[in-house]
Amino acid sequence: MKRLLIHLAAAMLLVTVLLFSACSGAEEPNIVFTGEVLEVYDKGFLLSTTELDGTDKVSIGYDKGMKPLDFNLLVGQTLQVTVLRQMRESYPVQATAVKVRLVQDVQQAPATAGESTVDELSRSVVPVKITPEEAKRMMDEESGVVILDVRTKEEFDAGHIKGAVLLPDTEVADKAAELLRDKDAPILIYCRTGRRSALAAKTLAGLGYTRIYDFGGIVDWPYETVKE
């Protein structure tokens, strides 16, 4: 009987140790806070916030597994950001976002007497740079996505992404309104190496298109292409 009690006590001790180890090894929860966008970068943004102890600004980059934003980042927007708990100490503090949600968009100031009503919001649209993998995910999961090939017709005929619309970069300014009627539709742009797609994305932003995603060149596209 005494030996049985000893075995039971040892078993209970082992269970306690295992439970403690599991709890201590659990991942710490992410941090969620809101703030206002001060600057927009190619791969992130600077946020002003009053919800964190010890800092008022956070430089935020994107986690590799984060889904592409479903809106265009603009200075002045209010965002709710979920970041990994491990922040890098600096000023501003550096953090990695796993989720970003738009809380309040930029408010357009009303025109005063004697001024024309200019859409300042469209002027401030910043094209979002994404990876080919993120672009493929948007193609598969989102409706109404426009895939825009801004290479030449000869390049397009030699091979392109299935479903792509051809609009050479030299014709974007003149023909975008004819081919891309919905200015709020998500537009995924590519060229051969990424230079022309970046220029075309900026042109579309200046024309008032609001959801512009540049995924670079077809040379980096890891999926199949077609000839039509």
Q: Was domain 121-220 assigned CATH 3.40.250.10?
A: yes
Who wins on pLDDT, 168 or 26? 168
Each domain of the chain, given as residue ranges in start order, spans 31-104, 121-220
Annotation says 191 is catalytic: yes
Among the listed ranges 9-13, 97-101, 144-148, 163-167, which one has the minimum average pLDDT value? 9-13
Q: Which fold, 31-104?
A: OB fold (Dihydrolipoamide Acetyltransferase, E2P) (2.40.50)
Output the DSSP codes for 40-82.
EETTEEEEE-SSSTT-SEEEEEE-TTPPPPSS---TT-EEEEE
Distance, C-alpha 40 to centroid of its chain: 12
Q: If you ran DSSP here, which 8-state letter would residue 91 be given?
A: S
Q: Please give the average per-residue pLDDT across 199-224, as a whole number.
A: 93
Q: Read off the pLDDT of residues 178-209 as tens digits, 9 standing for 90 and up.
A: 999 999 999 999 999 999 999 999 999 889 99
Q: Please give the average per-residue pLDDT across 140-159, as a whole number.
A: 96
Who wins on pLDDT, 117 or 22? 22
Query: Is the C-alpha dihedral spanning 219, 182, 109, 37 positive or negative?
Result: negative
Q: Cα–Cα distance between 27 and 14 in angstroms, integer?
A: 22
From 191, 198, 212, 218, the catalytic residue: 191
Q: Band the pLDDT of 110: cuts 50, 70, 90.
A: very low
Task: State yes or no: pLDDT of 25 exceeds 50.
Answer: no
Q: Band the pLDDT of 71: cuts 50, 70, 90.
A: confident
